[in-house]
Structure 1
Amino acid sequence: MQSIIFSAILDGIAALKTASKGLPNNLLRDVQAIHPNVTFADLPKELQDQIAESTRTAFTQLLKDGYAVGPRQQMQQTRPMDRVPERQRPGSNDRRGPPRGPRRPPSGEGGDRGPRGPGGGPGGGRPRKPKGKPRLG
C-alpha cells in the first residue's frame, strides 16, 4: 500500500512539472497554490488528470492485492463472517480419543490438597482496604 501512495505522489509532482511547461516560476506558483482548503477544481488540469489516473491505478492494485474496495455501506453488508467453518465428521458417534492429561476430581472429592495461596481460600488472608472516601469522625 505504501508503494501505491508513493507512486501517486511522484506522479502528481511530475504532473505539476508538466503543467508548468518547464517554467520554474509557474511551477512555484502552482505548488504554492496547494493548501489544506484547495478544491479539486482549483488544481491545474494536468494534475487533475493525474490524480484521476492514480486513483484508478490504486484501486485496481488494491483489488489485486486482495483488499475489499467499495462504498462503506456496501462493504459492511457484504463483509464475510469471522468464524471458522465447522468440520465434516464421517460418523455422528465418533469419539476423538481419550482425553489428554490427568482428570481432576469434582470439587469436594479427593481433598488431600491444601489451601490455595496465602490465607487459605475465599475470605482468608489479609483484610482488604475499604472502598470510597475515608470517614473522618
Structure 2
Amino acid sequence: MQSLIFSAVLDAIAALKSASGNLPNNLLRQVQAIHGNVTMADLPKELQDAIAASTRAAFAGLLKEGYSIAPRDAGPARPQMRQGEVVARGVDRPSRPPARGPRSDGPRGPRGDRPGGGRPGGGAPRGPRGPRGPRQG
C-alpha cells in the first residue's frame, strides 16, 4: 500500500517537472497553484494524465493483493457467514430485561398512595440507623 502511494507521488512530481518544461520558475508557479480546493481540471494536462495512470496502477495493485473495490454508492458488501457463526440482527449489545415501572398491585392508602408513603422499601418510616439493642423475646 505504501509503495503504491509513494510511486503515485513520484509520478506526479515527475509530471509537474515535465509540464513546466524543466524551468524552475514555471515549476514553482505550478506547485503554488495546487491547494486544498483545486480541481482536476485546474491541473496541467501532464499531471492529470500522471494521476489517472497512477490511480489505475494503484487499483490494479490493490486488486492483485486481494482487496475488493466497489463504487461508493454500492454500500458495504456483507461478508459470507461461516458455518456455525451466529449473527445478532438489529442489536449491538446483549439484550436486557425490560425496565420495571411502578407496581400496580398491592393495597393503597386513603390518599391513593401505597403504605409507607411510596418509599422504595415501603412500611413505616425508620429512624436513624445505628447499633441495635439486645433482642428481647
Asked if TM exceeds 0.5, the reply is yes
Task: Classify the TM-score, shorter chain.
Answer: 0.5 to 0.7
Matches within 5 A, 1:17-36: 17-36=17-36
> Displacement of 1:75 after TM fit?
5.2
> Judging changes above 3 Å, is the alpha-carbon distance between structure 1 residues 45 and 12 closer, same or farther for their aligned structure 2 residues?
same
Residue pair 1:69, 1:75 contacting (<8 A) in 2 also: no
AA aligned opposite 1:57: A
Structure 1, gaps ≥5 residues long = 87-137
CA distance in 2, matches of 1:80, 1:22: 50
Q: Which runs of 4+ in 1 moved over 4 A?
A: none
Aligned counterpart, 2:39 = 39
Please give the secondary structure, in 1, of the residue aligned with 2:34.
coil
Aligned counterpart, 1:11 = 11
> Displacement of 1:79 after TM fit?
3.1
Residues matched between the structures, number: 84
Aligned counterpart, 1:118 = none
Aligned identity (percent) is 67
CA distance in 2, matches of 1:25, 1:41: 21
CA distance in 1, matches of 2:75, 2:29: 41
Residue pair 1:8, 1:51 contacting (<8 A) in 2 also: yes
| Aligned Cα root-mean-square deviation (Å) | 1.4
Residue pair 1:16, 1:30 contacting (<8 A) in 2 also: yes
> Displacement of 1:70 after TM fit?
1.3
Question: TM-score with structure 1 length normalisation?
Answer: 0.57
CA distance in 2, matches of 1:79, 1:66: 16
CA distance in 2, matches of 1:8, 1:66: 20
Per-residue CA shift, 1:39-73, capped at 9, x if unaligned? 11010000000000011000000000000111134
Please give the secondary structure, in 2, of the residue aligned with 1:38.
coil
Aligned counterpart, 1:80 = 79
Q: Which has the larger radius of gyration?
A: 2
> Displacement of 1:74 after TM fit?
2.7
Question: TM-score with structure 2 length normalisation?
Answer: 0.57
Residue pair 1:15, 1:50 contacting (<8 A) in 2 also: yes
Per-residue CA shift, 1:77-133, capped at 9, x if unaligned? x4322x4325xxxxxxxxxxxxxxxxxxxxxxxxxxxxxxxxxxxxxxxxxxxxxxx
Structure 2, gaps ≥5 residues long = 85-137
CA distance in 1, matches of 2:34, 2:62: 27
